[in-house]
Chains A and B, each alone.
Chain A
Amino acid sequence: MQTENPLPTFEVVEAKVHRGERLTEADGVALFREPNLLKVGLLANSVREKRHGDRTYFNKNMRIEVTNVCVASCLFCSFAKLEEHMPGAHTMTLEEAWKELEDRMADPPSEVHVVNGLHPGLPFTYYEELLRGFKRIKPDLHLKCFTAVEIHFFAELYKMSYEEVLTKLRAAGLDSLPGGGAEIFHPEVRTRISNDKATADQYLEIHRVAHRMGMKTNTTMLYGHIETFEHRVDHILRVRALQDETGGFQAFIPLAFHPDGNGMKNLPAPTAVDDLRTIAVSRLMLDNVDHIKAYWVSLTPDVAQIALSYGADDIDGTIVHETIYKAAGSTSPSGLSYDELVRLIREAGRTPIERDTFYNVVKEHAKSALPEAAMKVRDRKQNRHLEVLS
């Protein structure tokens, strides 16, 4: 895939951004190719600060992955086990899944984020009951569950339309959709890395349907494997086009490919410079998406801190028990405490804002509070030293 026209210079793109003009595909590729990362970061930061100032969002969430059994064979995945009873394959009973939440009710999350493998043997009622059970434990809990890839899988497996699947799940308690499963939309890449799950059009159609039903969703991009910069820009533009249509995306989350233990383990992981650039270009291209998230699990807390100056205004949440990146060799901890997140954001010179899933402010923290900073424990360099909630 080639961009036909010669690329604009950085200065041309910069001037467009300052005039508030929408960037083109060529502009996006030019930003990816600009050698001086600082210039791109500075530009993205100006857009970020215009939108959000120093405000940086996080939430009290927890991830629960109820099954890693999966019929899809995505090359980038180190999490999924193809069949039940394979070594490492695990499917929680409903009681086990609910217990994950019950165990955290002393300091409950405001959101539960469920992402699973595509399990061929569970009844649809399993998922409905899963959601109902969570709501029974905490009625005001926000349930952000099932990627569009799962929704597509449910529709095929249980012979329903997307709208029917979503309607039933909403009736059971579903509040919004997470953004996973987007990978890279362009077929040159998608057919090679994840050929046997929802296509780009199907993924986007599900989000379109959800948005029309009044649901908010997030969306993602898995970068740093076999795709080109052009593929990334194409991906971002497809997100922008749907957002123009529906306005239903809350946040865009670039996800760094981690190579350990998957079908692309011979590839190097993207480096921090690429992570920051991707965050920055996403911020600059997506003039109609409010939030760009520096998902600390993917970036490591250190790089996520820097990303808050490269266009990101959200650092995700406490997570508690992440297993997908863990399986792919991420050195990030499985969870961060509330105070640790506040500290990370403050240390990056920003104002920590605890939010709910819809970005309503739960608690605004002071930009920096010296007594706390003086007491902080600084084991941030390695996951074994970070305060891991288990």
Chain B
Amino acid sequence: MSVRISSVGYLNARPLVQGLAEDPRFSLDFALPSEVARQLAEDEADVALMPVAAAATMGDVRIVPGMAIGSRGPVRSVAIFGEKPVEELTEVCLDLSSRTSVVLARLLLAKRNPKVRFLGMKEADARKNISGTRGALIIGDPALTIEGKYPHVLDLASAWREETGLPFVFAAWCTRGDALTADHAQAFLEAKRRGKEASRALAEAHAKATGLDVISLESYLANAISYDLGEEELRGLQRFYDEAATARLLPRTTVTLFRSSSPSSSSSSSSSSCLDTILSRAAAGDRLSIADGLRLDADASLFDLGLAADAVRQRRHPEGVVTYIVDRNVNYTNVCTTSCRFCAFYRPVGHPEGYTLSREILGKKLQEVVDAGGVQILLQGGLNPELRIGWYEDLFRWMKTEYKLGLHALSPEEILFIARQEDMSVRTVLERLHAAGLDSVPGGGAEILVDRVRRKIAKTKCTSEEWLGVMRTAHQMGLRSSGTMMYGTTDTARDRVLHLGKLRDLQDETGGFTAFFCWDFQYETGTKIAPGENGTLLYLRQQALARIMLDNFDHIGASWVTQGPDVGQVALRFGADDFGSVMFEENVVSSAGTTFQMNAGTMEARIHAAGFKAVRRNVRYDWLSEPF
């Protein structure tokens, strides 16, 4: 089998990759940086030319020596442009998904302008936003396009060089597993040599495609970019990793090189840190890599995880408060076209047990929530093709006018379904629903955000990228959402940690997630798949691991609805600071046989018995009462 190579498709990667395209030993795929990293992480690629920040996040990669995409001076294609010097900017707009550049920008600006705010947006929007004290970090071709158009430019590679005296490495060949051999690595070096010689031709082709100046492009490839990865570059990379780890922007990482004599299993990658070190870093709030997370999953004891998670909770929420919300989970329809194999709730279209709730019934349910002092409705349902966007808009307007409750409604799957039905973009659907009264988006349907798993348990459901895309759009519009994980089907420990990593990445980008909840697959006779890894102890471990890994999530909730009030209470000492909802009703999990109930008084009593003060909250986790 050929070695699977995944690479970013940018011009500056071409000299390293070009020469491998014809080599029958390799199969080559070009993709966006985040997708390249995903392929390596999920074992869909053996080697990846990808940003060094993504390598640190994975934690178990080896870097192929001798070549990289870096710069020893001005790089030209990674720079902050503005009408004022960076020291005078109040805001920097940037595409937050370009992680290496974002981390570099944060490190460099921390000294030059510590008060500057970063505004995440698409690159095209960032460019339009450059004005007055608002600058933008522009990357790649767009940066080359606007060269010389603004009076002030901070070239990030130059600034790095100035500050550290070292080159900067943006991307490198990274490998996991044992597919790569010394011969392959040699072929990579040979490809680099030929690629550098071909820079004139590459520049010409790119100039033709983009209209950029060919001389400028050739000089960019030949001079601005440095394709070497020698001693000095490695010191530059290690310096970047160290500074980023100290600033808690990346997991602590030691650069590990690929050597043919050391197979991955015995290699001393950064993941081989001793367990105690990882745990103390976790408790201190450092960012952990995927490999660190897996190490904890495999080797940490229940108490190791619990104490570290409890320490993180204590640091984030020193008041010793556990929140809960009084709301009602209304499932407006059980008609669904998805037929997920783990679901006992849905009925296919035309099934005699299918229902869509009438206004009359909904109104009664809502009034009960108002009467009981509830603050919110969690509205979710199946993918019912009979319901159009107008139906939802009317419903939302009516609910908001008549009942004044928070509307936490429609998981990404439902949003995508409406978008497909109406042939609209997700953004348009969300904008219309937002205008009609939608306040926040529930995080249901995330299951495991690894497509290999999703295809097995719910093959008609949205992909991981689609799910994350809906959340990204919602967050960008100012809607908040929760993040969830349903594990315990065909998922492995690695899938679960990768899932946490994806939520963490998106949270870095948008900051839109309020809280994370997880639970295990609830097996019952109506469900069609066999349960996998689950159990009470695993729940406590997973929840603790989530608290440790999700260093950019404010809140972790204990899922008493699935685990029961007893285990839910114990989970409050495993990193949770929220006890979820006093559920008036819930139909999906209870279709699978789990029917626990608690009222506000019982909930508070359990919170108190676990040693915390209780507070009621709304969907944004604002406190609605004094802690007691």
Contacts and interface: CB of A to CB of B under 8 A. Distances in A.
The answer on A and B forming one complex is: yes
Interface of A: 35-39, 41-42, 45, 268, 270-276, 300, 302-303, 305-306, 309, 347-349, 374-382, 384-385
Interface stretch (B151-159, B348-356, B561-569): B561-569
Nearest to B540: A306
Nearest to A350: B537
B303 A272 contact: no
B537 A348 contact: yes
B531 A271 contact: no
Given A272-B570, A306-B537, A378-B534, A38 B307 contact: yes
Contact of A41 (B303, B523, B605): B303
B570 A303 contact: yes
Contacts, number: 98
B536 interface: yes
A381 B537 contact: no
Interface in B586-628: 593-595, 605-606, 609-611
B73 interface: no
Interface string B516-535: 00000011100000111011
Contacts of A36: 310, 573, 611
A361 B303 CA distance: 29
B458 interface: no
A271 B306 CA distance: 19
B495 to A, nearest CB: 16
5 contacts: A37-B573, A38-B573, A309-B537, A348-B537, A381-B522
Contacts of A42: 303, 307
B605 A268 contact: yes
Contacts of A382: 593-595
Given A271-B610, A381-B594, A382-B595, A347 B536 contact: yes
A39 B308 CA distance: 11
Contact of B606 (A271, A300, A375): A271
Given A271-B609, A276-B570, A378-B523, A305 B595 contact: no
B493 to A, nearest CB: 14
Q: Which range holds the interface residue count of chain B? A: 20 to 34
Contacts of B562: 381
Contacts of A375: 530
A303 B303 contact: no
Contacts of B593: 379, 381-382, 384-385
Contacts of B609: 270-271, 273-274
B567 A306 contact: yes
B611 A37 contact: yes
- The 5 A-B residue pairs whose C-beta atoms are closest, nearest first, are A272-B566, A347-B535, A378-B523, A42-B303, A378-B531
B303 A379 contact: no
A226 to B, nearest CB: 16
A317 to B, nearest CB: 20
A381 B610 contact: no
B362 interface: no
Interface centre among A45, A302, A303, A348 (most CB of B within 10 A): A302
A306 B570 contact: yes
Contacts of A374: 530, 532
B108 interface: no
Contacts of A305: 535-537
A376 B531 contact: yes
Contact of A300 (B306, B537, B566): B566
B302 interface: yes
B537 A273 contact: no
A18 B119 CA distance: 53
Contacts of A271: 565-566, 569, 605-606, 609-610
Contacts of A376: 531
Interface of B: 302-303, 306-307, 310, 522-524, 530-532, 534-538, 540, 562-567, 569-570, 573, 593-595, 605-606, 609-611
B594 A273 contact: no
B537 A272 contact: no
Contacts of B569: 271-273
A147 B534 CA distance: 38
Interface centre among B307, B522, B564, B595 (most CB of A within 10 A): B564
Contacts of B594: 381-382
Contacts of B524: 379, 385
A239 B595 CA distance: 39
B425 to A, nearest CB: 40
Nearest to A268: B605
Interface centre among A35, A272, A303, A375 (most CB of B within 10 A): A272
A38 B531 contact: no
A274 B573 CA distance: 13
A309 B523 CA distance: 25
Contacts of B563: 302
Given A38-B310, A374-B530, A381 B564 contact: yes
A347 B538 CA distance: 8
B307 A302 contact: no
A272 B595 CA distance: 18
A230 B567 CA distance: 26
Nearest to B589: A381
A159 to B, nearest CB: 46
Nearest to B606: A271
Contacts of A273: 569-570, 573, 606, 609-611
Nearest to A343: B535
A384 B595 CA distance: 11
B610 to A, nearest CB: 5
A309 B303 contact: yes
Nearest to A34: B611
B605 to A, nearest CB: 6
Given A37-B573, A381-B594, 10 more contacts: A38-B573, A41-B306, A42-B307, A272-B567, A272-B570, A302-B566, A348-B536, A349-B537, A380-B535, A382-B593
Nearest to B595: A382
A37 B605 CA distance: 16
Contacts of A385: 524, 593
A380 to B, nearest CB: 8
A68 B167 CA distance: 84
A32 to B, nearest CB: 12
Given A276-B570, A382-B595, A377 B606 contact: no
A338 B537 CA distance: 20
Contact of B567 (A37, A268, A274, A303): A303
A71 to B, nearest CB: 35
A272 B534 CA distance: 20
Nearest to A302: B536
A272 B558 CA distance: 14
Contacts of B531: 376-378
A37 B532 CA distance: 30
Contacts of A272: 565-567, 569-570
A378 B532 CA distance: 9
A306 B536 contact: yes
Nearest to A305: B536
A41 B302 CA distance: 10
Nearest to A309: B302
Contacts of B540: 306
A295 to B, nearest CB: 15
Contacts of A379: 523-524, 593
Contacts of B307: 38-39, 42
Interface centre among B306, B534, B566 (most CB of A within 10 A): B566
Contacts of B530: 374-375
Nearest to B544: A38
A41 B540 CA distance: 14
Contacts of B306: 38, 41
Contact of B611 (A35, A268, A384): A35
B437 to A, nearest CB: 35
Nearest to B533: A373
A38 B524 CA distance: 32
A306 B306 CA distance: 12
B423 to A, nearest CB: 41
A38 B571 CA distance: 11
A301 B595 CA distance: 16
